[in-house]
Structure 1
Amino acid sequence: MTRTPASNTSTIIAGVALIAAGILFIIGEAVAAAGWPDDSYSYITNVISDLGVSSPAETNEGIWIHSPAAWAINSGWVINGALTLVAAIVFRRILRASRTGSWVFGLAIAYSAGLCVVATFHNAPAWMLPYHAIGAMVGMGGGNIAMFLTGLLLRKAKGYSLTSLYFTVAGIFGFSCLILTFVGPQDYVGLIERGAAYPFLIAQVVGGAVICRNATQLSVLRSPRSTVSALD
């Protein structure tokens, strides 16, 4: 019976973790949105953060928010951040072998921390908002920059051209949407914010699938005996 090397197993675990991270977040968001009374939550006008307010609270705009199923999205944030961190740790050797990869590794840590802050400090009541905003900027901003840099990193590797293209373009698009949440039309702020969040979630699922498909090759690159020249 052929045994799977431990490095290959951990590579697959990292891929599955990323796939689960993206899917579980979307599920958590859908559950929290469905929990709003009278189907009043709108994916177009309400930001994702509105789903995390577990107790009735007033925003800076004087709007009262209460998300009865806030536990779903708050859990989704924490789980997504934790699973992303797991994948980053598994690939730390490959990432830290180059300057660009080191930035990706650091931003992955920042992304995970940002999501935990977002899940702990909500956008209402008002005193929580500054902490929530910092967490959201670090999370979405760091995530989109990491996605863009990963795309640049993958351009140097054989067989990853389409993945590289998606990550690069999605990173630019996502970060642009993040800026638009502040300067764009607020009537569509929920839709615009999802333009900053969803491309990264898709990248997690796509990236996880690519990792699982190329587990053997990536496991070799993760080996201490490898020069990691493919991504250097």
Structure 2
Amino acid sequence: MTPIVRSGGAVRTGAVLLFIGPLVSWAAELITASAWQEPHYSPFYNWVSHLGLTGPSQVAFGQVGNSPLGAVMDTGWVLYGILLIAGTLLTLDLRGGARPIAIVALAILAGAGVSLIGIFQGSNANVANGLIAFHTYGAQGVMLAGNVMAIVVGVNASRIGLGHGRRVASIVLGVFGLVAFGVFMADVFTGWAWNIGLFERAVIYPIMIGHVVLGRGLVAALRPGADLPKPGPTRSEPTRVRRSDRTAQSV
């Protein structure tokens, strides 16, 4: 088994960044939601992206957006995206082949997507000027790439240093998020929009939990007495052993 994780202090730094990225976003969400003005904000009903609306109250995508601390939410999303990309690049060794490259590519897509959500708000102004496309692409990008990343991380858990429990958790989270994405999109395109905020979070939160699992698992693997996966023996090593055995037998 060939590990796909870097060595040295870079791994520890990257693991911490992966772990705190979702926490930063959740903290920003809680702070922003607590400042939400009338009407009452509900995580089941309201679009999560409406928390990032700045400026006066407006009706966007069929819901009232009135978020006085919208800039806090936007900043949280952008920071989350940056931390995700940086953490993955510091953690995974791209020289390990297609596996780490695939995970890093998915992390970049997801990180760029969540950052675009914070940069380009889902506002009426951006609908009018066409910039809403960046918001939409960002949202769908992070929903798909983030959940696929969780599955790929789980499949390669032993090469990253994650235990069986985290391996299963990562895969289950990714599969759940992708299924929820289909339900969420059906809820949107049918125009039903029932509890749209709930289904939207059912897609997003598994991604965030997956990054916590990944970062926490790497931190645990770096504790004294716990080792990251080591490369298996090279082809030359067993050859040398067999020769030494034959020499010992001849003597």
Name the TM-score, length of structure 1 as normaliser.
0.84
Kept in 2: contact 1:25–1:73 (CA 8 A): yes
Kept in 2: contact 1:174–1:200 (CA 8 A): yes
Aligned counterpart in structure 2 of residue 187 of structure 1, from 194, 203, 210: 194
Kept in 2: contact 1:101–1:153 (CA 8 A): no
State the distance in 1 between where 2:109 and 2:14 align: 18
**How far does residue 33 in structure 1 lie from its aligned partner after superposition?**
0.8
State the distance in 2 between where 1:22 and 1:156 align: 23
Equivalences for residues 20-39 of structure 1 within 5 A? 20-38=20-38
State the distance in 1 between where 2:72 and 2:160 align: 38
Q: In the alignment, is residue 102 of structure 1 matched against residue 93 of structure 2?
A: no
State the distance in 2 between where 1:39 and 1:195 align: 23
Matched position secondary structure for 1:142: helix
CA offsets 1:191-230 (integer angstroms, 9 cap, x no match): 1111111112112222111111112633x76xxxx6899x
| Unaligned runs of at least 5 residues, structure 2 | 1-5, 235-251
What letter is aligned with 1:207?
L
In the TM superposition, structure 1's runs of 4+ consecutive aligned residues that sit over 4 Å from their partners are 155-159, 226-229
State the distance in 2 between where 1:8 and 1:158 align: 14
Equivalences for residues 27-66 of structure 1 within 5 A? 27-38=27-38, 40-56=40-56, 57-61=58-62, 63-66=63-66
**How far does residue 170 in structure 1 lie from its aligned partner after superposition?**
0.5
Q: Which has the higher helix share?
A: 1
Name the TM-score, length of structure 2 as normaliser.
0.78
CA offsets 1:159-195 (integer angstroms, 9 cap, x no match): 6211111111110111111222221352211011111
Kept in 2: contact 1:58–1:65 (CA 8 A): yes
2:90 is aligned to 90
Kept in 2: contact 1:15–1:87 (CA 8 A): yes
Kept in 1: contact 2:81–2:114 (CA 8 A): yes
What letter is aligned with 2:70?
A
Aligned counterpart in structure 2 of residue 139 of structure 1, from 138, 142, 163: 142
Change (3 A) 1:157 1:31: closer
Kept in 2: contact 1:96–1:105 (CA 8 A): no
The structure with the largest alpha-carbon Rg is: 2
Change (3 A) 1:7 1:99: closer
**How far does residue 64 in structure 1 lie from its aligned partner after superposition?**
4.1
What letter is aligned with 1:59?
A
State the distance in 1 between where 2:33 and 2:196 align: 16
Matched position secondary structure for 2:156: helix
CA offsets 1:42-85 (integer angstroms, 9 cap, x no match): 00001210101112344244x44231111221111111111111
State the distance in 1 between where 2:233 and 2:105 align: 19
Moved more, 102-111 or 148-157: 148-157
| Unaligned runs of at least 5 residues, structure 1 | 1-5
Aligned counterpart in structure 1 of residue 155 of structure 2, from 140, 152, 157: 152
State the distance in 1 between where 2:95 and 2:107 align: 12
Indicate the RMSD between aligned Cα atoms, in angstroms. Answer: 2.5
